[in-house]
Structure 1
Amino acid sequence: MLKGLVLNPVSLSGPAQMAADVMMLEKLTSDPELCLISRFYSWDGPWLSLGHNQKKIPQRWIELAKQKRLNIVRRPSGGKAVLHSSGITYALAWKSPPKKKHQAYIEASQWIINCFCQFGMQLKFGLQTPKNLSQNCFATSTNADLLDANGFKRIGSAQLWRQGNLLQHGEVLLNPCERLWEDVFETPPPKTSLPSISKNDLESLLTKSLISYWSNLDWEARDLRNAEFRYIEKASKNYFIDSLLLGS
């Protein structure tokens, strides 16, 4: 029987979280029975993650980093900047998903849609084309994003493909720090419309929805192992933003 793995939540630095996500993708190739790996996580402080091809860093972000109000990390995936502050970040590594990118987004996100349906919140995909968009991920709404009925973006996601396998990770927006959001993006954060549920409870419901959606898999949940932490520590250097670029 094909297997699914849920890695228990862990709080790490931005570069370490990115290394852990890529590690999930690489683990798919080492176990022929392992079909899907997922995890949810938080960050050790406010982090701004930049898309792999998002090369230009605005001066105000550099100043916020110098002031120690913000940390900046490079994602292995595409997309625009995401402010990780009190939300839930998810990562999903999927072996041999649909080859068409949009179809893969649909199928890799359906469990999230199903979960929010439990609260009476209908999420839908955005319609913007991914060209000439804002540097702020949550100011755009492409077909990689999930919007609520009022058009507010609730989840922004990005993908990395390797050897026909997929890493999709994204941010479930909860209650970001309004002042920091405005300082980073020069606009107020999107209005939140989530039901009164704790972050831990929402994380638990998302996990249950994921397992239910892929109910054909034999699921296991466990902590990261020591060897995996060693890999993460070594690989995290790939996602640091050059300190010279930040002027530190």
Structure 2
Amino acid sequence: MSTDEAISLAVASGDSLPTLRFYGWQRPTLSLGYFQHIADAERYLSGIDGGNGVEVVRRSTGGGAILHHCELTYSLSLPLADAGPGPREVVYQSVHRSVQEVLADVGVPSRPYREWAGSSSVMVSPAVVTQSAVASAGLKSHSKPDEPFLCFRRRTDEDLICSGYKVLGSAQRRVRGGVLQHGSLLLGVSPYAAVLPGINELSAGSLVAESLAGQIAGHVGQSLGYDWRGGELTAAELASSNQIAVERYAAAEWTRRR
């Protein structure tokens, strides 16, 4: 979380190039949306076998909790002279469309929720109908006051849906002069979120994060006009990340602030 923020601030200020980052997690980790309550996380984890071994961190972006385990996390930091809703929506749609194209290339069909919800021919499980199919397809966001705790049990227009289940969700944070977008592509089911199948269960495939990351980078670069090069954190980004971690993401006061 701190590295994503450090990169986005450096990119927005012009000190770093636009950056697309892919990563995994050393241990299963529950990332809370900025506005979620720590008590809800503790309640959720207490009801899962082995839940006391799951780390908890609070994101700087909103939305529901994500169980980072059998998935691929990405972050995209871009400079935007106009960081209003229009340009930011273009970035959001471009990334999700790129992932959709990559999944199609490997034989896994998916659609944005706005298309899936408007289809009258799709067959879904009762659980999915309960969670989302009663939502109005014409609304930009389909969240409710009593919305589910987990991000992947919520639905918004651009979420990618595969066989009735959400497999990709993202969130944005506007920074002065730029935008940070990060998200999660669910590859497989986690024992800590057993109600959420990943694309490997839904497609009977064996997709791995490393190969998908390279393909996604190519499609995102083509869509947004960037020629990505492999790189490492700059010394300034690393120092900033360490400082942000101490002040926020590794601090109990930040994680337990709500």
Both proteins in one fold, TM over 0.5 = yes
Matched, 1:135 2:149: yes
The percent identity for this pair of structures is 26
Q: What is the total number of aligned residue pairs between the two structures?
A: 220
Instruction: Report what 1:41 is aligned to.
Output: 23
Q: Is the 8 A contact 1:19 1:235 kept in 2?
A: yes
Judged with a 3 Å threshold, the aligned counterparts in structure 2 of structure 1 residues 106 and 60 are, in CA distance, closer, same or farther, namely same
Instruction: Report what 1:57 is aligned to.
Output: 39
For 1:54-203, what aligned pairs fall within 5 Å after superposition?
A: 54-58=36-40, 59-61=42-44, 63=46, 68-96=52-80, 99-100=85-86, 102-127=89-114, 129-132=142-145, 133-148=147-162, 150-163=163-176, 165-178=178-191, 180-182=192-194, 188-190=195-197, 192-194=201-203, 195-203=205-213
Deviates more, 1:132-141 or 1:231-240: 231-240
Amino acid at match of 1:27: A
Query: How far apart, CA to CA, are the structure 2 residues paired with 1:244 and 1:217?
Result: 35
Q: Is the 8 A contact 1:88 1:171 kept in 2?
A: yes
Q: Is the 8 A contact 1:147 1:154 kept in 2?
A: yes
Q: Is the 8 A contact 1:157 1:169 kept in 2?
A: yes
What are structure 1's unaligned runs of at least 5 residues? 1-17, 183-187
Query: How far apart, CA to CA, are the structure 2 residues paired with 1:138 and 1:71?
Result: 18
What are structure 2's unaligned runs of at least 5 residues? 115-134, 136-141
For 1:223-234, what aligned pairs fall within 5 Å after superposition?
A: 223-234=232-243
RMSD: 2.9
Matched, 1:204 2:211: no
Query: How far apart, CA to CA, are the structure 2 residues paired with 1:33 and 1:26?
Result: 9
Matched, 1:219 2:228: yes
Q: Residue deviations 1:76-117, cap 9 Å, x none? A: 111110000021100011222663354442133222122112
Amino acid at match of 2:193: W
- Structure 1 segments, 4+ long, off by >6 Å, are 243-246
Amino acid at match of 1:44: Q
Instruction: Report what 2:129 is aligned to.
Output: none
Q: TM-score, normalised by structure 2?
A: 0.74
How far 1:156 moved relative to its partner? 1.3
For 1:26-37, what aligned pairs fall within 5 Å after superposition?
A: 26-31=9-14, 34=17, 36-37=18-19
Q: Residue deviations 1:161-190, cap 9 Å, x none? A: 122522111111012322x224xxxxx223
Judged with a 3 Å threshold, the aligned counterparts in structure 2 of structure 1 residues 167 and 84 are, in CA distance, closer, same or farther, namely same
Judged with a 3 Å threshold, the aligned counterparts in structure 2 of structure 1 residues 209 and 244 are, in CA distance, closer, same or farther, namely closer
How far 1:158 moved relative to its partner? 1.0
Q: Which has the higher strand share?
A: 1
Judged with a 3 Å threshold, the aligned counterparts in structure 2 of structure 1 residues 141 and 236 are, in CA distance, closer, same or farther, namely same
